[in-house]
Amino acid sequence: MKLFDGGRAPNPRRVRIFLAEKGIEVPLVPVDMGAMDHKGAEVTAKNPLQRLPVLELDDGTVLTESVAICRYFEELHPEPALFGRGALGKAVVEMWQRRIEFNLFNAVAQAFRHTHPAMKEWEVPQVPEWGEANRSRAVDFMRILDEHLATHEFAAGDAFSIADITGLIALDFMKPARIAIPEDCGAVLRWHQALRARPSASA
- Report domain extents, the chain: 2-76, 86-202
Q: DSSP character for 60?
A: S
Q: Cα(42)–Cα(46) distance, rounded to whole angstroms?
A: 7
CATH code of the domain made up of 2-76: 3.40.30.10
Fold of 86-202: Glutathione S-transferase Yfyf (Class Pi); Chain A, domain 2 (1.20.1050)
Q: How high is the pLDDT of residue 34?
A: 87
Residue 106's CB is within 10 A of a number of other CB atoms, namely: 15
Q: At what angle do helices 162-177 and 86-100 cross, to 10 degrees?
A: 10
Q: How high is the pLDDT of residue 159?
A: 97
Q: How high is the pLDDT of residue 173?
A: 96
- Answer whether 2-76 and 86-202 agree in fold: no
- Tell me the residue type at 77: H
Q: How high is the pLDDT of residue 123?
A: 84
CA-CA distances (angstroms) from residue 61 to 53, 55, 98?
14, 8, 26
The burial of 45, by beta-carbon neighbours within 10 Å (0-12 exposed, 13-18 middle, 19 or more buried), is given as exposed
Q: What is the pTM of this model?
A: 0.96
How high is the mean pLDDT in each 10-residue block of the chain (203 residues)? 96 98 98 93 96 97 98 98 98 98 98 90 89 96 98 97 98 96 98 98 96
Q: How high is the pLDDT of residue 119?
A: 86
Q: Cα(159)–Cα(146) distance, rounded to whole angstroms?
A: 17
